[in-house]
Amino acid sequence: RASGPAVARAREKRSEINAQMAESISGMAVLQASNAEGRFGARFAATNSQHYGARIDELRANAWLLRPMLDLLNVLLLVALLYSFGQRELQGIEVGILYAFVSYLGRVVDPLIQITLQFGQLQQAVVAASRVNTLLQEGRPAVVNTGLRMTTGRVAIRNLCFGYQPDQPVLQDINLEFAAGGFYGVVGHTGSGKSSLLSLLLRFYVAQSGSIRIDDQPLASFDDVHFRTDVGLVPQDPFLLAASVRENICMGRTLTDAQVETAARAAHCHGFVMQLENGFDTPLGEGGARLSVGQKQLIAIARALAAQPRILFLDEATAHIDSETEQVVQKALNELRGKVTIIAIAHRLSTIRDADSIVVLNRGRVSEQGSHSQLMEMDGGIYRRLYELQQLGD
């Protein structure tokens, strides 16, 4: 009874720590793109501190109980000895000396037992420590603090080459122009380099050669904090916190109610959010369990738009949603034209059919480029073949 509340608090905080770690790892790309590492790091540190305090209370309560319990066990053992052997067998030995013998015997044996039990855990800890040490030796990326921000969101890629291994190129000689406020699609077979190109644009990786410039400035020259504010990312699998709609849109940022509602209207999710019992303050459950996949994706789009980015990246954002929701996403994208540069990697070609220009990647190179109608006129073209196959599948 004395230690119960402390144990309950410690377990509750341990569960929160595990949940926050799982969220941070599964949503790492979104957290980085949303410039939320610091905010979520501070939240984790606060929870960890609360867990530490709860554990101290638990250990303190256990310590108060441990000594009386040990004394009671020693007394019971002493009584058992006296009962078993009787006064005649123990004649000449004082009760106090016998009690001390029993107590000291336990103090000698218990550490030996604990050492044996802990040896296996020690070996596991050594292996874990070596892995943690390897992780700590990883170099941290240089922090860019130039104060430079985007102005229009125009992107220019010149002679770009990249590979995760130097001798295995993934992208080769990429040359592209994305005008400010335009809507652009990037398509191609699996393994053609679409996601790698997006990772480079998001500064998750650095190209071996060539350049990426935004508003005529090198990509690496933009301030880290401002860069993450000026770009928005909508991933293929929507990442939602086990929190309210409002908290999922804000993602740790300080946004007004008007900003949250404006972003929700722009993403066309305001309607179904207001139908929830508590509107924007409705808890969504673990991973947004209360929502459909399409509704989750619309919340993710609202989150990306809440910071009013200059460039919006969509990474196959319509791959797992139904046709009706896809039309809602298409409508939202069309309404954003001229306001934000949209670069959408798409598996479902109907999503980017109305794009100003569509880039077709094949084996790491730009194979075709043009509007939907222009690409459909190319006999034997990759885009035309992919589109016709999808139409047959539908």
Is the model's pLDDT at 85 over the cut of 60? no
Predicted confidence at residue 310, as pLDDT, reads 92
Handedness of CA 361, 362, 364, 366 (dihedral sign): negative
Question: Which of 70, 105, 136 is at the close of a domain?
Answer: 136
Q: Is residue 298 within 8 Å of residue 333, measured between CB atoms? A: no
Question: Which of 136, 163, 196 is at the close of a domain?
Answer: 136
Predicted confidence at residue 211, as pLDDT, reads 93
Kindly list the strands in the beta sheet with 171-178, ordered across the sheet, starting from the edge strand earlier in the chain.
171-178, 155-162, 209-214, 217-218
Condensed to tens digits (0 to 9), the pLDDT of residues 164-195 reads 987 888 999 999 999 999 999 999 988 889 99
Question: Average per-residue pLDDT in the chain?
Answer: 82
Establish if 142 belongs to a structural domain. Answer: no
Condensed to tens digits (0 to 9), the pLDDT of residues 340-372 reads 999 999 888 888 888 999 999 999 999 999 999
Burial of residue 300, with CB atoms counted within 10 A of its CB: 0-12 exposed, 13-18 middle, 19 or more buried: buried
The better pLDDT of the pair 135, 9 is held by 9
The predicted model scores a pTM of 0.73
Mean pLDDT of 292-302: 89
Phi, psi of 165 (to 5 degrees): -120, 135
Strands (E) located in 182-243: 183-188, 209-214, 217-218, 231-234
What percentage of the chain carries pLDDT values higher than 70?
Answer: 82
Mean pLDDT of 304-321: 86
Query: Domain containing 34: what range?
Result: 4-136
Our CA angle for 202, 204, 209, nearest 5°, is: 90
Give the separation between CA 233 and CA 32, rounded to whole angstroms.
10
Q: Is residue 351 within 8 Å of residue 318, measured between CB atoms? A: yes
Q: How confident is residue 334, by pLDDT bands cut at 50, 70 and 90?
A: confident
Angstrom CA distances, 183 to 293, 343, 360, stand at: 24, 6, 15
Is the model's pLDDT at 157 over the cut of 90? yes
Residues 6+ apart with CB under 8 A from 369: 176, 357, 358, 359, 360
Establish if 234 belongs to a structural domain. Answer: yes
161 and 293 together in one domain: yes
Here the CATH number for the domain that contains residue 361 is: 3.40.50.300
Kindly list the strands in the beta sheet with 311-315, ordered across the sheet, starting from the edge strand earlier in the chain.
231-234, 311-315, 341-345, 183-188, 357-362, 365-370
Question: Which of 68, 102, 136 is at the close of a domain?
Answer: 136
Predicted confidence at residue 123, as pLDDT, reads 72
Dihedral class, residue 316 (left if φ above 0, else alpha if ψ from -120 to 50, else beta) = left
132 and 159 together in one domain: no
Q: Is residue 223 within 8 Å of residue 148, measured between CB atoms? A: yes
Establish if 144 belongs to a structural domain. Answer: no
Least confident of 32-36, 165-169, 251-255, 258-262: 32-36
306 and 242 together in one domain: yes
190 and 60 together in one domain: no
Q: How confident is residue 228, by pLDDT bands cut at 50, 70 and 90?
A: confident
What percentage of the chain carries pLDDT values higher than 90?
Answer: 27
120 and 208 together in one domain: no
Predicted confidence at residue 222, as pLDDT, reads 86
Helix/strand/coil (H/E/C) assignment for every residue in 64-85: HHHHHHHHHHHHHHHHHHHHHH
Q: How confident is residue 36, by pLDDT bands cut at 50, 70 and 90?
A: confident
